[in-house]
Amino acid sequence: MRPGLRAQKVVLVGDADTAIRLGSGDVRVLGTPRLLALAEEVTVAAVGPHLDEGRTSVGTRVELEHRAASPVGMRVTVEAELLEVDGARLVFGCTATDEHGTVVGTGRIERVVVDRERFLARLPH
């Protein structure tokens, strides 16, 4: 694993993505929980193909600034770049931009690479 790995996803904001639908507000714009889920999704996509068999990554820390509203019908591109690798700890920078070039959100997401079976075995039954 090395810094510089990237992934992106382009979404068209729909009703299911809105703050009102997600319970995080009462307006029909991209909800912060959906923006966060998209940011996490691209971090997973950036490193997933580079993980050894039986390994996965899990989220451990998120900092997200939701800077601009995106109405239903707006195209938003969410990008992640792996900035730092510290053993099993991965640090990503994330940016979301709308179709007009407005920065919708920025953030930093940390994930940790784990052995999938060992991780699942530790869960309460």
User: DSSP states of 61-111 as a string?
Assistant: EEEEEE-S--BTT-EEEEEEEEEEEETTEEEEEEEEEETTS-EEEEEEEEE
Active site residue 50: no
Q: Does the active-site annotation cover 100?
A: no
Given 18, 40, 79, 81, the catalytic residue:
40
If one counts every other C-beta atom within 10 angstroms of the C-beta of residue 61, the result is 11
Other beta carbons within 10 angstroms of residue 84's beta carbon come to 12
Phi, psi of 61 (to 5 degrees): -155, 140
Residues 70-97 have pLDDT tens digits of: 999 999 999 999 999 999 999 999 999 9
- 6-12 and 75-86 as β-strands: parallel, antiparallel, unpaired? antiparallel
Question: Who's near 12: CB < 8 A, 6+ residues apart?
Answer: 73, 74, 75, 76
Q: Which of 32, 56, 102, 106 is catalytic?
A: 32
Task: Report if pTM > 0.75.
Answer: yes
What is the structure's pLDDT at 115? 95
Distance of CA 110 to the CA centre of its chain: 10
Active site residue 40: yes
Cβ pair 82, 3 in contact under 8 A: yes
125 pLDDT higher than 90: no
- State how far the Cα of 107 lies from the Cα of 50, in Å rounded to an integer: 22
Judge whether residue 33 has pLDDT over 90: yes
